[in-house]
Amino acid sequence: MLVLDGKIASAAVKATLLAQTQALKTAGKRTPHLAAILVGNNGASETYVASKVKNCEETGFESTLVRLDADIAENVLLEKIIEFNNNPLVDGILVQLPLPKHIDEAKVIETINPSKDVDGFHPANVGRLVQGLPTFIPATPYGILLMLEHFNIPTKGKNAVVIGRSNIVGRPMSILLSSNIPQGNCTVTLCHSHTTHLKSICAQADIIVAALGAPNFVTGDMVKPGAVIIDVGITRVEDPTSKKGFRIKGDVNYEEASVNASAITPVPGGVGLMTIAGLLKNTMKAYEAAHLS
Ligand code: NAD
């Protein structure tokens, strides 16, 4: 069984990006710049943003992190986004989700200039994705495509099951896997909280992408011999024996699934690292588009 190691695949993506930023520096040019906005102090969001900033540094990108209080007025956030939209030295803008309840997430996403929307959440970019046009692919599905590419996992003609239909993972993933692209051309079933017979649907899958946020949801009996298992789930579960007091669990029971799977992503160390690789690649694309136009 092949472990789809996110450390290995993301290191390869980052090495290519680092070579690109070094070449830019040698030519006396500035490098891609990602601006991240974090509202409030949600523990998981803090960790994700810190990791994104650190990865920018490691690949020679510039980064700016703006922290706003949890109770700021919505228009303060929108104004900050507009400031970044208008700043030619910022290539990519990221607003870490989730946002506090009093802020309209859709409005925030729609305020980001689509050409700087490196998370790929703007409706204009989602529309382009659906139509198979060049766009920013949301970072997690993009990371999964990069992972499949790195490990040469064949997808053409395969039965893929995606569990979860969120705008950031499940739905775009289902569209991409069914698209006519190198890591696509699957026959896709998109499962969600109202799906009946989910276990038997999964048991017929050549590829399962689990993105629902329920630890150990995918059990051994749902994994067909030879299936490829992509575990997107990240849930913090209490663990008094760990220094942090919690442990990260995926949506797949790794031990059980490994018995039949031909390839599987670990959690942590799998899709999470690829998400950052996807984000960095999108930021480089935004930079290149701005400099070629
Ligand atoms: P979400 O809560 O927005 O969506 C969950 C989806 O799962 C919903 O569409 C729902 O219909 C479906 N679902 C819930 N219970 C179900 C059930 N019993 N059976 C079938 N479907 C069910 O979640 P999200 O933002 O897409 O995130 C999903 C998981 O992925 C979370 O654990 C999240 O932390 C993780 N995540 C990881 C990364 C990464 O980089 N690895 C990135 C984003 C999200």
Catalytic, 96? Answer yes
Ligand 1 binding site (Cβ under 6 Å of any ligand atom): 140, 163-166, 168-170, 191-193, 195, 198, 211-214, 232-235, 271-272, 275
State pLDDT tens for residues 128-185: 999 999 999 999 999 999 999 999 999 999 999 999 999 999 999 999 999 999 999 9
Question: Average pLDDT, stretch 68-76?
Answer: 98
Instruction: With respect to residue 131, please indicate whether it lies within any of the assigned structural domains.
Output: no
Instruction: With respect to residue 286, please indicate whether it lies within any of the assigned structural domains.
Output: no
Quote the number of domains for the chain. Answer: 2
Can you give the pLDDT at residue 291?
A: 84
What the block records as the tokens of 24 is 């830019």
Specify the residue with its C-alpha closest to ligand 1, atom 5.
Answer: 212
Residue 67 lies in domain: 28-113
State pLDDT tens for residues 6-52: 999 999 999 999 999 999 999 999 999 999 999 999 999 999 999 99
Tell me whether strands 2-3 and 207-210 are parallel, antiparallel or unpaired: unpaired
Shortest-distance atom of ligand 1 to CA 165 = 9
What's the whole-model pTM score? 0.97
Question: Average pLDDT, stretch 97-113?
Answer: 98
What the block records as the tokens of 58 is 């490691």
Instruction: With respect to residue 122, please indicate whether it lies within any of the assigned structural domains.
Output: no
Work out the mean pLDDT of the chain and round it to a whole number.
97
Q: Are residues 58 and 95 in the same domain?
A: yes
Q: Are 173 and 209 in contact (CB under 8 A)?
A: yes
Q: Are residues 35 and 107 in the same domain?
A: yes
Q: Are residues 158 and 255 in the same domain?
A: yes
Instruction: With respect to residue 130, please indicate whether it lies within any of the assigned structural domains.
Output: no
Instruction: With respect to residue 290, please indicate whether it lies within any of the assigned structural domains.
Output: no
20, 80, 91, 96: which is the annotated catalytic residue?
96
Can you give the pLDDT at residue 155?
A: 98
Q: Are residues 256 and 144 in the same domain?
A: yes
Residue 75 has pLDDT above 90, yes or no: yes
Q: Are residues 78 and 166 in the same domain?
A: no
Residue 199 has pLDDT above 90, yes or no: yes
Catalytic, 119? Answer yes
Q: Looking at residue 159, which CATH number applies to its domain?
A: 3.40.50.720
Does residue 190 sit in helix, strand or coil?
A: strand
- To test the pocket of ligand 1, the residue of 169, 173, 194, 248 to mutate (highest count of ligand atoms within 8 Å of its CB) is 169
State pLDDT tens for residues 1-11: 999 999 999 99
Catalytic, 204? Answer no
Q: Looking at residue 82, which CATH number applies to its domain?
A: 3.40.50.10860
Question: Average pLDDT, stretch 241-255?
Answer: 95
Can you give the pLDDT at residue 293?
A: 63
Distance CA 191, CA 198 (A): 7
Question: Average pLDDT, stretch 116-137?
Answer: 98
